Amino acid sequence: MRIAVVGTGHVGLVAAATLAEIGHRVVGTDADAERISLLSRGIAPFHEPGLDDLLRGTTESGRLSFTPDTGEAVSRAEVVFVCVGTPARSTGEANLIAVEKAVRAIAEYAIDGLVLVQKSTVPAGTAARVEQALRAQSRGRIRHIDVVSNPEFLREGRAIEDSLDPDRILVGSASARALRVMRAVYRPLIDKGCIYIETDVKTAELAKHASNAFLAMKISFANALAQICERAGADVMDVADIMGSDPRIGRAFLDAGLGYGGFCFPKDVQAFDRLAARLGYDFPLLREIARINDEAIDAAVDKLEDALWNLEDKRVTLLGLSFKPGTDDVRFSPALALARRLLAEGANVIGYDPQASSTAKEDLPELHVASDAYGAAAGAHAIVVCTEWPEFRALDLDLLCDAMANPLIVDGRNLFDPAAVTAAGFDYYPTGRPLRVQPSVAGNLDGFVA
């Protein structure tokens, strides 16, 4: 099929490459001409494992191309995916101006019979407005047009595997024709056995809000639990394992730490709260999720103050700057939220990240960045583990300890083995765990069950 993808951010670019990989002819377009020029030269504008290879393969085969001209991309497409950004307004509501602009361009150039697929996360009810706007703006030129909601569930850092082998594909539409077209679009993935859900537009839109808010709620629950565990002397990782062994709960997204960041959860939880309010329902649980998430940063600052007394003129090293491992994305990164707090307290903050040092520096120029973890730790009074990059587990703890002025680790991701770091001479503050290693409750349980 001939497909256009409007917006080449994380969602759009990965969708374009995936759709080309599964056999469609795809043209990607973006308002950012510089980005299109990079992409046309085969350069991915952000780090995503596997993306470079996928882009190379699909562009070389001729199935994927890019143009800055939306009209050119849209005018030949049977299906147009709208994947533009929907950032938060100051009120917390989603800003839909990029969606509106995309719809205007599509209305001008679309062919009759087009299926418009709304992939950006938008408030429930947006697809209906898009359809109205398309009909009004095309001034009768287009007789048949259908709008579909197809929310994206991919995770950054695993975007390619999530797209080529998704847990589920969700498609919402009232039109039997559009549902048929979407089945044809996703046929290769459906044939591989992927769960494929068809529903109405509003249910699809709300399912996306509900899924992201629920996942964020699990993380905030784990972070509140970590606070209780620290006070009670229990281990949040063992409690989470035990909770997770109940299939009704599940272990995923119960890792306590510095909290959630990224371009989705913070803005989506807020946007869902505003949507609920607009629909006349007060949903304070959503605001609590966000409040507990902010509290995770306070907890790390409290530990540093507990250990170092004053933070002014102290040198604090942040290991990991991206909002999670596997990406160079620092948008709403808890590491940078912590860096800002520490800078405001007068600390010198130096960070290291395997991928995100330069994006972090762009976002926060006052941050110093080092080219490796040992360099970042040199002369430091404390290390805070902000992102659980697997390579940090392989650090030589003796070398790290020797490099520091004061050997202290605040482990905001429970990355290190407490026994190993304390044996290397560190003062160690994990998150929601007792300082000394206790025989693992979950381990005992395993033994008992066996």
The correct pick among 81, 323, 416, 426 for binding ligand UDX (CB under 6 A) is 323
Rg (CA), the chain: 24
Half-sphere exposure of 129 (CA within 13 A, CB side): 10
Report d(CA 433, CA 234) in Å as an integer: 6
C-beta closer to ligand UDX: residue 102 or 215:
215
Min dist CB 10 to ligand UDX, Å, is 8
- Count interface residues toward ligand UDX (CB under 6 A): 20
- Supply the minimum distance, in Å, between the C-beta of residue 37 and ligand UDX: 26
Q: How far is the CB of 162 from ligand UDX (least distance, A)?
A: 8
Q: Residue from 115, 154, 206, 373 that binds ligand UDX (CB under 6 A)?
A: 154
Task: Choose between 85 and 407: whose C-beta lies nearer to ligand UDX.
Answer: 85
In the complex with ligand UDX, the residue whose CB is nearer, 66 or 416, is 416
In the region spanning residues 187 to 216, those forming contacts with ligand UDX, defined by CB under 6 A, are: 212, 215
154 contacts 169 by C-beta, under 8 angstroms: no
Q: Return the number of the residue (131 or 328) whose C-beta is nearest ligand UDX.
A: 328
List 324, 331, 381, 433, residue binding ligand UDX (CB under 6 A): 324
List, in sequence order, the alpha helices (H) in 345-385. 357-363, 373-377
Q: Which of 325, 318, 334, 321 is nearest to 376 (CA)?
A: 318
Q: Which pair of structure tokens corresponds to residue 111? A: 């062919």
Are 29 and 19 a contacting pair, CB within 8 Å? no
Region of 85-93, 135-143, 153-161, 173-181 interacting with ligand UDX (CB under 6 A)? 153-161
β-pairing, 195-199 with 25-29?
unpaired
Closest CA to 258 of 335, 201, 192, 188: 335
CB of 221 to ligand UDX, least distance (A): 10
Given 2, 101, 155, 187, the residue binding ligand UDX (CB under 6 A): 155
Find the shortest distance in angstroms from Cβ 105 to ligand UDX: 25
Q: Pick from 156, 230, 328, 353 the residue near ligand UDX by CB under 6 A.
A: 156
Q: How far apart are CA 370 and CA 366, in angstroms?
A: 13
Window of 47-55, 110-118, 152-160, 231-239 that interacts with ligand UDX by CB under 6 A: 152-160
Determine the interface stretch with ligand UDX among 93-101, 149-157, 310-318, 360-368 (rule: CB under 6 A).
149-157
* Closest residue by Cα to residue 83 from 9, 20, 133, 167: 9
Min CB(251)–ligand UDX separation in Å: 9
Query: Is the CB of 253 or the CB of 283 nearer to ligand UDX?
Result: 253
Contacts of 139 (CB under 8 A, 6+ apart): none
Give the DSSP letter of residue 197: E
- Indicate whether 392 belongs to the interface with ligand UDX (CB under 6 A): no
Is 194 among the residues known to form the active site?
no
CA distances from 74 to 34, 103, 129, 246, 428 (A): 20, 11, 20, 48, 56
Query: Would you say 25 or 324 has its CB closer to ligand UDX?
Result: 324
Q: How many C-beta atoms lie closer than 10 Å to residue 371's C-beta? A: 9
Closest CB to ligand UDX among 152 and 411? 152
For residues 239-298, which are near ligand UDX according to CB under 6 A? 253-255, 257, 259-262, 264-265
Q: 229, 264, 386, 401: which one is catalytic?
A: 264
Burial class (CB in 10 A: 0-12, 13-18, 19+), 195: exposed
Residue type, position 408, single letter: L
- Number of separate helices (H) and strands (E) present in the chain: 18, 14
Minimum gap (Å) between residue 381 Cβ and ligand UDX: 25
Burial readout 119-153 (b: 16 or more C-beta within 10 A, e: otherwise): bbbbbbebbebbbebbeebbeeebeebbbbbbbbb
Q: How far is the CB of 155 from ligand UDX (least distance, A)?
A: 4
Binding site for ligand UDX (CB under 6 A): 152-156, 212, 215, 219, 253-255, 257, 259-262, 264-265, 323-324
What positions carry a catalytic annotation? 264
